[in-house]
Structure 1
Amino acid sequence: MKTLYFISLVAFLFLLKPVTSQAQDSTGTINVFLDCRRACDEGHVRNEIQFVNYVRSEEDADIHLLITSQRTGNGGEEFTLEFIVRDEELGGDKTLTYFSAESDTRDERRSELNNYISRGLFFYLAEKPIAEELTIYHNISEDTQPTQRVDNWDNWVFDINADTDIEGEESEKEFSLRGRISAERITPEWKFEFELQQDYDRQTFRDDDEERVFTREDREAELLLVKSLNDHWSAGISSEARRSTRNNYSLLLEGSPAIEFSVFPYEEFTSRQITFRYRFTFGRYDYEERTIYGKLNESQMQQQLSSRIEFTQPWGEFETWINASAFLNDFDRKRLDTRMQLDFRIYRGFSIYISGEYALINDQLSLPAGGITDEEQLLNLREQLTSYSYEARFGLQFSFGSIFNNVVNPRL
């Protein structure tokens, strides 16, 4: 009887026909491929802007709307909206830029972003029948006339963050405390950043009447000052002070002048950038335990050459980062880090992503001579000796069916 009831229920569910709204006549409006790259709330856009058709693939689109975002110097966010025309009869490509203040709420940010999306789409709808159903509103206020803004903070932004995490069960407890204070001032000519943070983790294990406690602590202060020289060159200096039980530092002090060259003008960073940076570092290191090289403290000079390549285009995203470093008094003490990520749209509804990291490591000067215990290894409380590290990911996504993507249904 139970089996018959289950079969009847499944059959009933399959016979149900979901009620959805129909896509608008494609001859009356335009088809838009919304390509947010996590920079917008896609469901909110489709629900609020209903005078266009949203399609799942750029091959079916009249307009490819590519939205990217970057953090701004005042703690806010800059959104770049690229309206890429696939139907030449609609006109040419357009780009809009929207700045959101750090104080904006999530709802304020996404609502204003929708306004900018609507403004950009209006241009391509002027000759479409649906234009007769659209109305443009102009809110007139005392602030309508452009005025020179007065910034009482002179571009300074301050952040204070603190959080704690408490977990436990009968035989295990964990307590974590993290704090961060930062100050920054970013203008087209100068960039100043200062950050102070501390992480503290304590894990307690109880086995019969025995209790074991393991702690890990990391304190760090960083400062960065950069001067823009022109559209392609920048120069700066950074410094760092750190204490880390995991890395065996009772005190690390580093100072680094650096220079950077950008192949493309810096203003194009939202869509493409290729940069090369050279940095020279002088460091003083005091260790909690004697290292495998018999040192309790030492001074070292190090040089680094790094490059970053990043493209955000309609076909997807590509990013790679390479960093090579070596100590000047011993070139055998060196390191090479590489990181790569690719999100590539191959064809309608079919895309792949590949990411990976690899490092050749021969610069672990702070490793303690006494080694580490099994517990410290399992809990990752101490840095371990290694000549390399790697991580790789690969995935694909394939979707098919209706080309339209208009309906938003938040139920259940």
Structure 2
Amino acid sequence: MRDRVGADIHLLVTTERTGGGGRSYQMQFIGQGTFADLTETLTYASSSTDTENERRAGYTRLIEQGLFRFLLRTRLADRLDVIVEENGDEDEEPRAPEDDPWNFWVFNVGVDGSYEAESSRDRYEIETDLSANRVTEEWKIQFFGGMEFSEANFDVDEGTITNRQRNGRIFGTVVNSLSDHWSAGFTTFSNTSTRSNTDFSASISPTVEYNVFPYSESSTRAILFRYEMNFRYFDYDELTIFEKTEEQVIQHQLSVRADFEQPWGSARVRLTGEQFITDYSDTMFDLYNVRLSGFLYFRLLRGLTLDVGGEISSINDQIFLPAEDASDTDVLLGRRSLPTDFEYDISMGFSYRFGSIFNNVVNPRFDF
């Protein structure tokens, strides 16, 4: 079917990541036309260790189950049979959450490496990561750490130019579910970055969040208000524009986020304001950053869709900038962040699909 308007049933699928690293698929079967009075919502959760084929089999079975009520309204109703497959596990006792030897904890360790070369250049990159998560209805605990190191060498007339960059980070979140609409907790963050002139930084941020809609509806709609108070420490690679090699600062942040996944399309908007409130040299209170980002995918007419996305920022908080000017090599290789008052990007496009609504043929030839 080319467009939802001509369909008897609109299947709206939304996904969310589970605490175990898998995906939760929520499928809404929305009746249209002669089925306008019928709706059905089913959920399927895949495991993080499932293969693509296992995930496909899981949500295909869910689609079959969701269509059953609708088929009862058709001429096929008299030809339907219910068959329960035997899997040999009927005699086994189902495992309850309290039997979990890991107590809901899920861990992941990864190492990646790559190398590429040409006659006059070569590049290698090494990346490691570690995560630990425990997610229940009452508590959400997540920790992640990763380190990236890359080196690229370029042969030019004057010799060889080497570009080395490092980027490491540790992130943690502890959140308590206070009610259907309120959450509270804290986040921690630590990083090292050549580009940001940061040898080491660390922060801890008490946070409170309010959701206009119940959190149980977050896969289809959410309007979130979040406030954070950030206590941060910086140790810089080089002397900064404020003549600092290290410092402790306080920053607060207010953000508003709206997410909608509906039959007409999807929309995501986020507005964030940050401000340093530690006053030194009568300048820190004026340092701020305001960002607005959004994405809209909207079905205008039958077969006609509009997608718009972008982000714009007003920047006045680059306290990490080195006092020494960046060299031409640093600029060209992207090794240094540069001073700027703003940053923006925007994208927009239309798509119109028309033609036969009966062409469901699959032909995989020449699909590389």
Q: Taking structure 2 as the reference length, what is the TM-score of the superposition? A: 0.94
Equivalent residue, structure 2, for 1:30: none
One-letter code aligned to 2:144: E
Distance 2:35 2:315 in 1: 56
1:90 to 1:262, Cα distance in 2 relative to 1, 3 A: closer
- Note the 1:202-213 alignment, pairs <5 A: 202-208=151-157, 210-213=159-162
Kept in 1: contact 2:38–2:70 (CA 8 A): no
One-letter code aligned to 1:65: L
Equivalent residue, structure 1, for 2:269: 320
- Tell me, yes or no, if structure 1 residue 236 matches structure 2 residue 236: no
- Tell me, yes or no, if structure 1 residue 334 matches structure 2 residue 288: yes
Equivalent residue, structure 2, for 1:100: 46
- Tell me, yes or no, if structure 1 residue 67 matches structure 2 residue 13: yes
Equivalent residue, structure 2, for 1:42: none
Extract unaligned runs of 5+ from structure 2.
none
SS at match of 2:89: coil
Distance 1:183 1:303 in 2: 27
What's the CA shift string for 1:14-53, capped at 9, x where partnerless?
Answer: xxxxxxxxxxxxxxxxxxxxxxxxxxxxxxxxxxxxxxxx
Equivalent residue, structure 2, for 1:6: none
What's the CA shift string for 1:254-276, capped at 9, x where partnerless?
Answer: 11100000000000001100000
Distance 1:372 1:209 in 2: 20
Range moving further from structure 2, 201-210 or 311-320: 201-210
Corresponding residue to 1:306 among 255, 265, 272:
255
Kept in 1: contact 2:122–2:153 (CA 8 A): yes
Distance 2:75 2:363 in 1: 27
Distance 1:188 1:148 in 2: 18
What's the CA shift string for 1:362-382, capped at 9, x where partnerless?
Answer: 000010011211121112111
1:131 to 1:375, Cα distance in 2 relative to 1, 3 A: farther
Equivalent residue, structure 1, for 2:114: 165
Kept in 1: contact 2:30–2:36 (CA 8 A): no
- Tell me, yes or no, if structure 1 residue 372 matches structure 2 residue 326: yes
Distance 1:225 1:397 in 2: 42
Extract unaligned runs of 5+ from structure 1.
1-54
Equivalent residue, structure 2, for 1:399: 353
Distance 2:348 2:125 in 1: 33
- Note the 1:157-306 alignment, pairs <5 A: 157-208=106-157, 210-306=159-255
Larger of the two Rg values belongs to structure: 1
Distance 1:393 1:114 in 2: 34
Equivalent residue, structure 2, for 1:80: 26
Q: CA deviation at 1:141?
A: 4.3
Kept in 2: contact 1:91–1:124 (CA 8 A): no
Q: CA deviation at 1:90?
A: 6.2
One-letter code aligned to 1:355: G
Kept in 2: contact 1:325–1:336 (CA 8 A): yes
What's the CA shift string for 1:278-316, capped at 9, x where partnerless?
Answer: 000111111110001111111100000001100000000
Kept in 1: contact 2:144–2:170 (CA 8 A): yes
The RMSD of aligned alpha carbons is 1.5
Distance 1:406 1:131 in 2: 24
1:89 to 1:392, Cα distance in 2 relative to 1, 3 A: closer
One-letter code aligned to 1:66: L
Equivalent residue, structure 2, for 1:130: 76
One-letter code aligned to 2:357: I
Distance 1:141 1:282 in 2: 55
One-letter code aligned to 2:183: S
Distance 1:129 1:407 in 2: 25
One-letter code aligned to 1:70: E
- Tell me, yes or no, if structure 1 residue 356 matches structure 2 residue 305: no
Corresponding residue to 1:147 among 79, 90, 94:
94
What's the CA shift string for 1:362-409, capped at 9, x where partnerless?
Answer: 000010011211121112111111111001000111011112353222
How high is the sequence identity, in percent, across the aligned residues? 37
Equivalent residue, structure 2, for 1:31: none
SS at match of 1:331: helix
Q: CA deviation at 1:239?
A: 1.1
One-letter code aligned to 2:268: E
SS at match of 2:287: strand
SS at match of 1:117: helix
